[in-house]
Amino acid sequence: MTPAAPLIEGRDLTRQFPMAAGAVTALNHASIRIDPAEYVAITGPSGCGKSTLLHLLGCVDQPSSGSLTFEGRDVARLNETERSRIRLTRIGFVFQRFFLLPMLTAWENVELPQAEAGVSRSERRTRTRELLEYVGLADRIDHRPSQLSGGEMQRVAIARALANRPALLLADEPTGELDEVTGDQIADLFDRVHADGTAIVVVTHNATVAARAGRRLAMNSGRIVAE
């Protein structure tokens, strides 16, 4: 049997940020392969390049050198419209601080990326209801972020990230703002997302989340140092 084509293949990824005081090397020849429906946790000390790596995997940022393919396409050869289409429809993002739009309700936050992707009104209605039920918030659809708890905000953010059925969920410290019990609920939700066939790459200091991933990568000084 031939091995499945990777979802993401990053080779020799280096990312330098030019600064007045000299270039900062945030990522230093890191290579990473993510298979479809894999669950990978990334750990490492502050400043070692974890968020920088996620930005590259998410096609938000581009490496200074090295190559990256997403679903077999060389990301460097895509134009900005093609990359933003990948971000919108193939990748979901979850952040430590949720980043929900404060003026929009839970419902509207989840509906927005579908509208941006051109999903019809009736499909949006069905999908948004399904997603808010999936994350256990069917009774909070009209709440704005300020009217939700931290755990609830993160569940809305996860529903939003899944809105366009991405192949990959990227999460940067998704439980960093949450207490232990609430963090465990998010870990449970990630398990379900993974079981439903979505690949997850999560940067985390949370032992529960890290323990549930199928693979753990440790980073240090811009490198992947252990698997």
Binding site for ligand ATP (CB under 6 A): 17, 19, 24, 26, 44, 46-52
* CB 208, min distance to ligand ATP, A: 18
* CB 206, min distance to ligand ATP, A: 13
Q: Closest CB to Mg ion belongs to which residue?
A: 51
| Of residues 66 and 113, the one with the C-beta less far from ligand ATP | 66
- Number of neighbouring beta carbons within 10 Å of residue 215: 13
* Cβ-based neighbours of 119, under 8 Å, separated by 6 or more: 127, 164
Q: How large is the angle between the packed helices 121-134 and 150-161, nearest 10 degrees?
A: 140
Give the one residue of 9, 32, 34, 51 binding Mg ion; rule: CB under 5 A. Answer: 51
| Of residues 38 and 173, the one with the C-beta less far from ligand ATP | 173
DSSP summary character for residue 134? H
Q: CB–CB of 34/57 below 8 Å?
A: yes
Angle at 152 between CA 55 and CA 92, to 5 degrees: 25
Give the interface segment with Mg ion, choosing from 50-58, 69-77, 131-139, 188-196 (CB under 5 A).
Answer: 50-58
Give the interface segment with Mg ion, choosing from 12-20, 47-55, 62-70, 101-109 (CB under 5 A).
Answer: 47-55
Q: CB–CB of 22/181 below 8 Å?
A: no
* CB 98, min distance to Mg ion, A: 15
| Of residues 57 and 189, the one with the C-beta less far from ligand ATP | 57
* CB 27, min distance to ligand ATP, A: 7
| Of residues 100 and 171, the one with the C-beta less far from Mg ion | 171
Picked from ligand ATP, Mg ion, none, the partner binding residue 119 (CB below 5 to 8 A depending on kind) is none
**Is 179 in a helix, a strand, or coil?**
coil
Task: Give the residue ranges of DSSP H helices in 4-149.
Answer: 50-57, 80-89, 106-116, 121-134
Query: What sign does the dihedral 33-5-88-76 (CA atoms) show?
Result: positive
* CB 74, min distance to Mg ion, A: 26
